[in-house]
Amino acid sequence: MNPYNVETAPPCTLFLFGANGDLVKRLLMPALYNLSRDGLLDRNLRIVGVDHNAATGAEFAERLAAFMRERDKAAADSAQSLDPKRWARLAKRIDYLTGDFLDPDTYQAIAKHIGRSRNGNAIFYLATAPRFFADVVQRLGDGGLLNETEGFRRVVIEKPFGSDLASAELLNACLLRVMSEKQIYRIDHYLGKETVQNILVSRFSNGLFEAFWNNHYIDHVQITAAETVGVEERAAFYDHTGALRDMVPNHLFQLLAMVAMEPPAAFGADAVRSEKAKVIGAIRPWSKAMALKNSVRGQYTEGRQGRKKLKGYRDEPRVAADSQTETYVALKVMIDNWRWVGVPFYLRTGKRMSVRDTEIAICFKPAPYAQFRDSDAERPKPNYLKIQIQPNEGMWFDLQAKRPGPALAMENVELGFAYKDFFNMRPATGYETLIYDCLIGDQTLFQRADNIENGWRAVQPFLDAWKEGGEVHAYAAGEDGPVAADELLARERRVWHRLG
């Protein structure tokens, strides 16, 4: 039953605040089902949805099952199908609590649920709008629900964790007034992806990499999160947030930290998170003028994807007609430490781009001497190590090889592996590892307060500079961002790695 040969998570009561929201039905409940399928959940785990809409536990469970059945119809892989018997066993453990997040009676009802369990363990997962984070945590504290005398008590908080440095510091202060850092699980679902976790394994378990993982051999690093979708149902949130806040201080900086961190003393939570916090803290704080120079904002306009006509951002429902919100951002950041001094890190993320692709492209410096004078191969191309997070998870290294024939001509070839070709990849949402780690109390893949604040500290100069000026460049939906983003690299004789 358990294919991973790891311990079953201990029993607890898992409270899902915002139970009727998209996150619970699309990701959290399918992840819990997959954990149950793999034998990683204790039989005494209880799942309690908490929301203001009236429902019974049976009704809540059936709504979740109905969504997953609809999902299965659209899935090409039959391995993702909901098994009725497995679901029935899990559904027996699902309950629902109707309550307002700001009503003290809700928290008294939660206490009764914990009291009826066979243990005092509880996890409170805040799958709510960010405006409720501080209020819910404060009320959990006021109700004595974060006291660990009778079992562990943990709080999971989704992004966005603040909207700037000041709000992140304020939220951290609020949390730490009522509980300790070891009880807080600030989640970033990118860190649940196998390829992201493999960055650390590849770096620190292969002697080949460490020798050239520094500014002597690496010219620059590119980190990309490209999406083909638009804002979809998130327009009301997104138009007040934008691509920078939505993606950079969390997802992209976490990928940067994995690439750039120093080897930890041990692979425990504190050691790993300390090294990540150090490298994010070493990002150079740009002046406003330099922040404008080293950033590009874009917003998609009407375009096409194949034969499909796509709306412009300002034509999307619930988006202001004169919106200046960026749907694309490209940044250049520098890390001021011994290993990375002089190596630029280029970050880009955008919606309505040509392909869906999350990748890290590490560009190595070219060979120091042109051996092939007076031939077509006189100027070899730089080598790239590409780590693809999604959709085709894997790692590839490209190098130059001679093309067969009488002429000295070079061809770019790739060496590498795709996860699906080497491993039996079980259907997953990306949340399984993170939920399991929270259940067993492993904080390695969760962000600590200093990591969060260092990320916002690095982003704040861009936010401040954009308040005072700078252009939002247009790009057609279905393209790979505005021309100005190409120019950001071209001025230093570099180009973006081709997507896909």
| Lowest mean pLDDT across 182-186, 208-212, 368-372, 411-415 | 368-372
Give 1's pLDDT tier (boundaries 50, 70, 90): low
Query: What pairs with residue 358 in β-bridges?
Result: 225, 390
Q: Residue 51: how many CA atoms within 13 Å on its side-chain side?
A: 19
pLDDT, position 189: 87
CB atoms within 10 A of CB 289: 11
**Residue 88 burial (C-beta neighbours within 10 Å; 0-12, 13-18, 19+):** exposed
159 is in an annotated binding site: yes
Q: What is the pLDDT of residues 354-366, one digit of tens each?
A: 999 999 999 999 8
pLDDT, position 301: 97
237 is in an annotated binding site: no
pLDDT, position 333: 98
100 is in an annotated binding site: yes
Tell me the average pLDDT across 339-368.
94
- Give the CATH number of domain 191-426+450-491; options: 3.40.50.10330, 1.10.1610.10, 3.30.360.10, 2.60.200.20: 3.30.360.10
The topology under which CATH files domain 13-158 is Rossmann fold (3.40.50)
Active site residues per annotation: 251
In the block, tokens 């997070």 appear at 389
Tell me the average pLDDT across 448-463.
96
351 is in an annotated binding site: yes
Tell me the average pLDDT across 404-413.
77
Q: Please report which residue ranges of 311-358 form alpha helices under DSSP H.
A: none
Give 81's pLDDT tier (boundaries 50, 70, 90): confident
Q: What is the pTM of this model?
A: 0.92
101 is in an annotated binding site: yes
Domain with CATH 3.30.360.10 in the chain: 191-426+450-491
Nearest to 158 by CA among 326, 349, 1, 28: 28
Domain with CATH 3.40.50.720 in the chain: 13-158
Radius of gyration (C-alpha) of the chain in whole angstroms: 24
Q: Are 360 and 389 in contact (CB under 8 A)?
A: yes
Q: What is the mean pLDDT of the chain?
A: 91
Nearest to 253 by CA among 353, 331, 364: 331
